[in-house]
């Protein structure tokens, strides 16, 4: 059976480290305010969101520590690679996120960046940090699943 994929989504980059370091509570989609040279660099795939996170500044949600490489052809109108980028969310979503961050101690972590109908989108996860023993348990579980698949493959 063929796996169904969404033809409107083109994934640019993934944050695979996030699922190892955090428990995801909720996922939501946000747009990003970008300059022309940033979107051209994103279309070339020169993006890294591995160490980035989102915080609240002046009633807005801002993505911090994301790296979008400089676009070589944009001479004087180029952007700063590690600049803060405003995320586009509805007011209700923003207030919900701010409340969860302040009251419950959650973190907002980007999990993937993709194009949806030609617009750059970011999937955000409301997450709680894992402790060391949680990480060890997930490593143990991942290794057991890999070995189990290997045993099944050898036996058949």
pLDDT tens-digit map of 133-153: 778 988 899 899 999 999 999
Q: How many CB atoms lie within 10 A of CB 26?
A: 13
Entry pTM: 0.79
Task: Determine contact, residues 125/60, Cβ cutoff 8 Å.
Answer: no
For 119, residues 6+ apart whose C-beta sits below 8 A from its C-beta are 31
What is the spatial distance between Cα 88 and Cα 63, in angstroms, rounded to a whole number?
10
User: To which H or E segment does residue 96 belong?
Assistant: helix 91-99
Q: Where are the domains of the chain?
A: 10-130
Q: In CATH, what is the architecture of 10-130?
A: Beta Barrel (2.40)
State pLDDT tens for residues 37-86. 899 999 998 999 999 999 999 989 999 999 999 988 887 888 888 989 99
Retrieve residue 93's tokens.
């979503």
HSE-CB at 145 with a 13 A cutoff on CA atoms is 6
Nearest to 23 by CA among 106, 129, 123, 124: 129
DSSP 8-state secondary structure symbol assigned to residue 7: T
Instruction: Give the pLDDT mean for 79-101.
Output: 91
Q: Residue 120: is its pLDDT beyond 70? A: yes
Nearest to 53 by CA among 116, 101, 104: 101
């Amino acid at each position: 059976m063929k796996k169904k994929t969404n033809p409107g989504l083109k994934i640019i980059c993934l944050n695979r480290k996030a699922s190892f370091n955090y428990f995801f509570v909720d996922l939501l989609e946000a747009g990003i305010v970008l300059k022309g040279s940033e979107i051209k660099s994103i279309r070339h795939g020169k993006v890294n969101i591995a160490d980035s996170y989102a915080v609240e500044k002046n009633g807005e949600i801002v993505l911090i520590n994301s790296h979008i490489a400089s676009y070589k052809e944009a001479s004087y109108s180029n952007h700063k690679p590690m600049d803060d980028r405003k995320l586009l969310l509805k007011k209700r979503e923003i207030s919900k996120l701010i409340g969860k961050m302040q009251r419950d101690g959650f973190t907002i972590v980007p999990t993937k960046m993709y194009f949806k109908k030609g617009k750059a989108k970011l999937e955000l996860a409301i997450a709680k940090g894992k402790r060391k023993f949680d990480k060890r348990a997930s490593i143990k579980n991942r290794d057991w699943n890999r070995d189990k698949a290997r045993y099944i493959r050898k036996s058949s």
